[in-house]
Amino acid sequence: MVRESIVTPEEQPSEEHDIALRPKRIADMVGQREVIEVLQIAIDAARKRDEPLGHILFDGPPGLGKTTFATCIPREMGVSVQMASGPALKAPKDIVPYLTNLEDRSVLFIDEIHRLPKAVEEYLYTAMEDFRIDIVLGEGVSARTLNLQLKPFTLIGATTRAGMLSGPMRDRFQIREHLGFYSLQELTEILNRNAEKLDVEVEPIAASELSRRARGTPRVANNRLLWARDYALSKVDGIVTDQVAQDAMQMIGIDELGLDRQDRRYLSTLIRVFSGGPAGIEAIAHTMNVSADTLVDEVEPFLLRSELMIRSSRGRCATPLAFQHLKLDIPSTALSGGGLFDQIPDA
Ligand code: ADP
């Protein structure tokens, strides 16, 4: 089956906007107060000791601020940062230039660190622990190993799948922080600040309307704002009113809960074709003509979080909230114990 990309145009990562809207200092970041408090103490102590910060691991879903923290922390420390990505580091030799270019107390950021190949991960162990690496010079019988001392540095790792990180790697991070979703109030604040940065007028009701559809995620809030701005510029006078925000969202199929067309298609397939479940993921995927991986990775997490479906050992089930949201009647068989409320997870 063709693996279908279900990223809507307005959700495509826009790197320049990410950079333009990204807070420069920790003080400019909204929310994540507990994480920020821990980091501020660690930064303060490292500065006083004149030592590098301990290695830091951030985990959490995409768009919640992992890269933002990784760029703000070096600024607070007054040191440089190099950015790398797990899947691009295919062999130990790929990471050597990053390690040899490190400056005293500088930061090496590795995004998607759970996707580092095992050999690279193991190569990093001595670098992280003792600030040294072995480099093999030459080949065959004339090969020699050079033991190289590195500058003391801080590794910042980011992962969307903390569970996929090996135990030994995880244990080498002194600070491990989980980034959670943002409240409506926090998202509205981010949206208002960014509207100012972009010099676009967004009415207060429109700002909360857009935040409500941002799935608890600052990157999504930014994308909603950028689309509403473009829509307002093209269709009206450039001001994002409540009506403009609603029309802009409707045009790209984003509803009041932040669901996109694919999310609703999933729920309506589950309800219409499978009477609300339980249904197996493969069966749902075949019916929708989408790969099961796509559904599991990209559609289900938000539906589960929104309590619109549950995943039990017997299959996927729509919750009463899903019926309500799609304005569909709950079948009477379900109400009499034949389906919907027979869905309590076994595990
Ligand atoms: P991640 O690395 O977790 O995928 P990013 O750090 O790239 O996410 O965040 C995406 C965008 O969201 C950033 O460019 C920034 O504009 C915004 N953002 C993230 N976290 C915050 C925050 N705490 N306060 C304000 N804006 C934020």
What is the spatial distance between Cα 314 and Cα 28, in angstroms, rounded to a whole number?
Answer: 46
Amino acid making up residue 277? G
Task: Supply the pLDDT for residue 330.
Answer: 79
CB distance 218 to ligand 1 below 6 Å = yes
- Concatenating the DSSP letter of every residue in 143-172 gives -EEEEEEPPP-EEEEEES-GGGS-HHHHHT
Task: Supply the pLDDT for residue 20.
Answer: 80
| Overall size of the chain counted in residues | 347
Span from the CA of 38 to the centroid of ligand 1 (angstroms) = 18
CB distance 190 to ligand 1 below 6 Å = yes
Task: Supply the pLDDT for residue 16.
Answer: 66
Sequence-distant (≥ 6) Cβ neighbours of residue 332 within 8 angstroms: none
What is the spatial distance between Cα 344 and Cα 104, in angstroms, rounded to a whole number?
Answer: 55
Task: Supply the pLDDT for residue 180.
Answer: 93
Query: Architecture of 261-335 per CATH?
Result: Orthogonal Bundle (1.10)
Task: Supply the pLDDT for residue 239.
Answer: 94
Task: Supply the pLDDT for residue 11.
Answer: 45
Task: Supply the pLDDT for residue 5.
Answer: 36
Span from the CA of 30 to the centroid of ligand 1 (angstroms) = 9
CB distance 31 to ligand 1 below 6 Å = yes
Task: Supply the pLDDT for residue 68.
Answer: 95
Of ligand 1's listed atoms, the one at least distance from the Cα of 60 is 3
Are 191 and 221 a contacting pair, CB within 8 Å?
A: yes
Sequence-distant (≥ 6) Cβ neighbours of residue 325 within 8 angstroms: 257, 259, 267, 308
Ligand 1 pocket test: which of 7, 14, 16, 22 has the largest number of ligand atoms within 8 Å of its C-beta? 22
CATH of domain 3-178: 3.40.50.300
Span from the CA of 60 to the centroid of ligand 1 (angstroms) = 12
- The residue to which tokens 């409707």 are assigned: 250
Each residue of 238-266: pLDDT tens digit?
A: 999 999 999 999 999 999 999 999 999 99
In the Cβ-directed half-sphere of 136, how many Cα atoms lie within 13 Å? 9
Domain borders along the chain are 3-178, 184-251, 261-335
**Catalytic positions, please?**
66-67, 111, 160, 219
Q: Which two tokens stand for residue 272?
A: 């219409």
CB distance 32 to ligand 1 below 6 Å = yes
Sequence-distant (≥ 6) Cβ neighbours of residue 19 within 8 angstroms: none
The DSSP code for 132 is E
Of ligand 1's listed atoms, the one at least distance from the Cα of 70 is 6
CB distance 62 to ligand 1 below 6 Å = yes
Query: Architecture of 184-251 per CATH?
Result: Orthogonal Bundle (1.10)
Taken in order 316, 320, 325, 330, the sign of the CA dihedral is positive
The residues of the chain scoring below 70 in pLDDT are 1-17, 332-347
Span from the CA of 312 to the centroid of ligand 1 (angstroms) = 33
Rounded to two decimals, the pTM is: 0.86
